[in-house]
Chain A
Amino acid sequence: NAGVTQTPKFQVLKTGQSMTLQCAQDMNHEYMSWYRQDPGMGLRLIHYSVGAGITDQGEVPNGYNVSRSTTEDFPLRLLSAAPSQTSVYFCASRGYRGTEAFFGQGTRLTVV
């Protein structure tokens, strides 16, 4: 099992550009989430999904879109990148009967 795989690991965008952060898990987990991590702010929930076709907003959803067409994949789309979206992004998955969430290695995004 690879667990949770995120790509790319690093990305630099110009203000106004769009991009998609990829997240895939091979554990057949129902729940998937996206977090951003900023210094002094901890991990904050952006969007989450409880299963294929079902997504909802977290604490800081503005400027981001998600979709969940399969159990395995949960991409995060930045519609028009802004410097405030410079952060480290983590994808996580968790099984319905499980306890802990498993995290990917993160994507470090810089918007200039």
Chain B
Amino acid sequence: EDQVTQSPEALRLQEGESSSLNCSYTVSGLRGLFWYRQDPGKGPEFLFTLYSAGEEKEKERLKATLTKKESFLHITAPKPEDSATYLCAAPLGSSNTGKLIFGQGTTLQVKP
């Protein structure tokens, strides 16, 4: 069964305290792993797509990496404005239908 699981469910950090969020997946024929950021009351906002093991992508204080079984979102020296829920997702199905399966999300709180 296709599954995407995120951990931890919630994470509290002090400003400047680096950490990582985990996304493990069991999806047949993975055709990409997506990371999204979601602010309260808003829709998910795209961050990264990773396609192959060993791939890395960076944006400001965020770096996403991918292995054959999991993806990590590394947050370096976070600021309070990085507080949000981070979602990972993978495309479902053998054809390109636009369907996504999501993890439950990690809610990050960064305290000043």
Contact = CB atoms under 8 A, between A and B. Distances in A.
B41 A106 contact: yes
Interface size class of B (residues with CB under 8 A): 20 to 34
The interface residues of chain B, by DSSP majority, are classed as: loop
Contacts of A30: 98
Contacts of A50: 97-98
Contacts of B34: 99-101
The interface residues of chain A, by DSSP majority, are classed as: strand
Nearest to B44: A103
A41 B101 contact: no
Contacts of A56: 97
A105 B43 contact: yes
Contacts of A101: 34, 46, 98, 100
Nearest to B97: A50
Contacts of B105: 42
Given A42-B87, A100-B34, A90 B104 contact: no
Among B96, B98, B104, B105, which residue has the most Cβ atoms of chain A within 10 A?
A: B98
A42 B104 contact: yes
Interface of B: 32, 34, 36, 41-46, 49, 87, 89, 92, 96-105
